C-alpha cells in the first residue's frame, strides 16, 4: 500500500511539473518573439540563451526527477503483473476449432449469427480497402500532375492545396482503418459470445470437421512469396527505387533545396545560427 501511494504521489508531481515546465517554455518562446521581428534576429543565440537561462534550472530539476523516478522503480518494483491479454482473433480461432454439431432452431439461429458476423467483417474489409485504394489513386494523380505545382505559386498555397486534395484522403483512409479495427474487435467479441453459447448448449456432441479445399493458385502464390529469392528480390527492388529517387533528387537540385531549408530552420527558428 505504501509503495502504491508513493508511486501515485510521484506520478502526480511529475505530471504537474512537466505541464508547468512546458508552459514556461511556451511563455519564453512568446517573450522572445515579442522582443522584435523574428526575421531580424530575434532568435539569435544570445537572446535565446539569455531568455532560457531562468528556465534551465527547473529543467535540470525535471531531469533529476525523471532519474529519481527510475531509481524509485528499482527500489519499489511492481509485484503485481497483469496477465497478457489474449487477442480476440486467437480466442475466436480456438473456439471455432471446438464448434460442435447440433440441431434445432436455436442452433440454426446461432449459426446464422456466426455467418453474419464473418460476412460483415469481410464486407467492411473490402469497403475499407476500396476507400484506401481510391484515396491512393486520387492522391497519386494529384501529386504526379506538374500543373498542380507551378513555379510562380507560393509554397504556402501549394501546401494548402495539397493538404486539401491529399490530406483529406489520408484522413479518410486513416479514419476508415481505425473504424474497421474497432468494428473487427467488437464483431469478434460478439461472435465469441455466440460460439461460447453454442459450445455450452451442445456439449458432448462431435466437433464439426471442416475440410478446407486447397486452392492450387493460392498455394503457388504463397510458395513463391515465402521464398527467400522473392524476399531478396523485393528488397533489391526497393533499394534500386530508393537510389534512383536519391539520384534524381540530386540532379534536380533537391538536395541543395533541403540543405538550404535546414539552414534557415536552424538559424531563424531554433536559434542555432
All cell numbers assigned to 246: 536519391
Output the average pLDDT for the chain. 80
All cell numbers assigned to 220: 503457388
Question: pTM of the predicted model, to two decimals?
Answer: 0.52
Buried b (16+ CB within 10 A) or exposed e, 236-264: eeeeeeeeeeeeeeeeeeeeeeeeeeeee
Instruction: Specify which of 108-112, 120-124, 151-155, 249-253 reaches the highest per-range mean pLDDT.
Output: 120-124
Least reliable range by pLDDT among 56-70, 122-136, 161-175, 217-231: 217-231
**What pLDDT shows up at residue 38?**
47
Cα separation, 161 vs 189, in Å, equals: 42
Mean pLDDT of 49-54: 79
CA angle 31, 34, 40 (to 5 degrees): 120
User: Is it the case that residue 140 has pLDDT exceeding 80?
Assistant: yes
Least reliable range by pLDDT among 39-48, 86-95, 123-132, 261-270: 39-48
| Residue found under cell 532519474 | 67
Cα separation, 114 vs 184, in Å, equals: 13
**What pLDDT shows up at residue 230?**
86
Cα separation, 214 vs 160, in Å, equals: 51
User: Helix, strand or coil for residue 64?
Assistant: helix
Confidence of residue 130 (pLDDT cuts 50, 70, 90): very high
CB 76 within 8 A of CB 6: yes
User: Is it the case that residue 124 has pLDDT exceeding 70?
Assistant: yes
Choose between 272 and 114: higher pLDDT. Answer: 114
**What pLDDT shows up at residue 119?**
93
**Of 265, 271, 120, the residue nearest 191 (C-alpha):** 120
What does the pLDDT look like over 75-105, one tens digit per residue? 766 665 555 666 778 888 888 888 888 888 8
Amino acid at each position: 500500500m505504501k509503495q502504491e501511494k508513493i508511486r501515485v504521489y510521484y506520478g502526480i508531481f511529475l505530471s504537474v511539473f512537466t505541464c508547468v515546465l512546458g508552459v514556461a517554455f511556451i511563455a519564453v518562446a512568446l517573450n522572445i518573439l515579442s522582443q522584435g521581428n523574428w526575421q531580424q534576429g530575434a532568435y539569435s543565440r544570445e537572446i535565446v540563451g539569455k531568455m532560457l537561462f531562468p528556465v534551465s534550472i527547473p529543467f535540470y530539476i525535471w531531469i533529476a526527477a525523471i532519474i529519481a523516478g527510475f531509481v524509485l522503480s528499482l527500489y519499489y518494483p511492481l509485484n503485481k503483473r497483469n496477465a497478457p491479454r489474449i487477442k480476440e482473433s486467437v480466442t475466436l480461432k480456438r473456439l471455432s476449432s471446438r464448434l460442435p454439431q447440433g440441431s434445432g432452431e436455436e442452433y440454426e439461429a446461432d449459426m446464422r449469427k456466426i455467418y453474419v458476423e464473418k460476412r460483415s467483417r469481410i464486407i467492411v474489409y473490402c469497403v475499407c480497402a476500396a476507400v484506401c485504394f481510391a484515396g491512393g489513386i486520387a492522391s497519386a494523380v494529384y501529386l504526379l500532375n506538374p500543373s498542380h505545382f507551378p513555379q510562380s505559386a507560393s509554397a504556402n498555397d501549394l501546401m494548402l492545396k495539397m493538404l486539401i486534395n491529399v490530406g483529406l484522403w489520408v484522413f479518410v483512409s486513416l479514419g476508415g482503418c481505425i473504424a474497421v479495427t474497432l468494428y473487427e474487435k467488437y464483431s469478434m467479441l460478439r461472435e465469441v459470445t455466440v460460439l461460447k453459447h453454442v459450445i455450452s448448449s451442445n456439449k458432448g456432441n462431435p466437433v464439426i470437421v471442416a475440410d478446407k479445399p486447397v486452392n492450387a493458385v493460392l498455394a503457388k502464390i504463397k510458395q513463391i512469396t515465402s521464398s527467400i529469392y522473392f524476399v531478396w528480390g523485393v528488397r533489391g527492388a526497393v533499394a534500386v527505387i530508393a537510389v534512383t529517387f536519391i539520384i534524381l533528387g540530386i540532379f534536380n537540385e533537391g538536395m541543395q533545396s533541403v540543405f538550404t531549408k535546414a539552414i534557415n530552420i536552424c538559424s531563424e527558428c531554433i536559434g542555432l545560427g
